[in-house]
Amino acid sequence: MKKKLGNNKYFSGKYTDSGQYGGWFIGSFFKDQNNPCKTDLVEVMYREHKAGYVAKPHYHKEKIELIIILEGKAKYIINGKDIILESGDFLFIDKNNIIAGEFLEPSKIFAIHSPSIVSDKFLS
């Protein structure tokens, strides 16, 4: 006899409709425990930035970060080193690294953090 797997926790939608939590559409942000997008395992965000937007220097003690540039161009500074990212590029940042960024062109990005810990962002 085959066992059926499935917890019936799934969700389909448009990542561009994720404005309620600043672009984060999967993660531990959701107050409703039954929300299928609520998880402590990962955070996923889609955001569009205007040229000139600056992400303040910060670091994470417990989570890793992955930034994917879908469109546009940005300059990130990791521990004082400049890295230019353009459409199709990605940047992986392990915990305990200081990251800041400036968008040089209008840009569309995905950011992924793991695990999802809302309080794990420290300005430096």
Residue 85 CB burial class (10 angstroms; 0-12, 13-18, ≥19): buried
Can you tell me the mean pLDDT for 102-114? 98
Which of 52, 48, 55, 98 minimizes the C-alpha distance to 69?
48
Average pLDDT over residues 79-83: 98
- Mean pLDDT across the stretch 85-91? 98
Q: Do you find a cis peptide bond into 115, omega within 30 degrees of 0?
A: yes
- The structure tokens listed for 52 are 């000139």
**What's the Cα-to-Cα distance from 86 to each of 17, 18, 90, rounded to whole Å?**
24, 23, 8
**pLDDT at residue 7, rounded to an integer:** 77
Domains of the chain, start order = 50-113 (2.60.120.10)
Give yes or no for residue 38 having a pLDDT over 70: yes
pLDDT band, very low/low/confident/very high, at 72 (cuts 50, 70, 90) = very high
Q: What pTM was computed for the model?
A: 0.89
Confidence of residue 115 (pLDDT cuts 50, 70, 90): very high
Distance CA 96, CA 19 (A): 28
What is d(CA 101, CA 83) in angstroms, rounded to the nearest whole number? 9
